[in-house]
Structures are given as structure tokens and as C-alpha cells.
Amino acid sequence: MAKYRKKPVVIEAFRFYVDPMPDWFMDKVSSNDVILNNCNYDTPQDDPPYCEIETLEGVMIGNEGDYILKGVQGEIYPCKPDIFEATYDEVNK
């Protein structure tokens, strides 16, 4: 059986409700591809913040502290911090 190695690619990502939300994410919010829930920085919320992200596989949930990734084809999806940190290294600017 043949073996394969994943090609190295550079992606953009941020931690939801930890880092500032980048323009590419807010564009998806504006187009309703991402729905924000309990995300009011000015007023404390009883329920934790999360977002619903429309993907090719269906709606995925990004919770506070999850990484939100922008893939090589512009797709957006959430990733748990432990998986992200095991999979990605930060690229120097």
C-alpha cells in the first residue's frame, strides 16, 4: 500500500472570542454563512458564546477558545485547540 504525506500549506486562523475577529470571518457573518450566538462584548452573557459555521459537511459549532480556520479555498471551519496545536505551527511573518 502506498503512503502519503500531507502537503504543507499556510492557513489563517484565530481563536474565537479570544482574538479579534478578522475581516474574512466578519464577511461570512455578514453573508449569514456564520451565525454568532451570545457574542456581546459589552454585556456579560449567562450562556457561553459560540458560532454556527455553514460548511460543506453541514453546520459546525465553534466555541469560545476554539480556533477558526480559513482553508486554502476560503472555506471556514472550527478546530479544537489541542488538535490545532498538534497539527499547526505558527509561521513567522
The pLDDT of residue 44: 75
Those residues whose C-beta lies under 8 Å from the C-beta of residue 39, and which sit 6 or more positions away, are: 17, 45, 49, 51
- The answer to whether 76 touches 70, Cβ cutoff 8 Å, is yes
Q: State the cell numbers at 28.
A: 461570512
The pLDDT of residue 42: 78
Q: What is the CA radius of gyration of the chain?
A: 15
- pTM of structure: 0.88
Q: Any idea where the domains of the chain sit in the sequence? A: 12-87
pLDDT (average), residues 17-40: 95
The Cα 63–Cα 89 span in angstroms is 21
Give the whole-number percent of the chain exceeding pLDDT 70.
Answer: 99
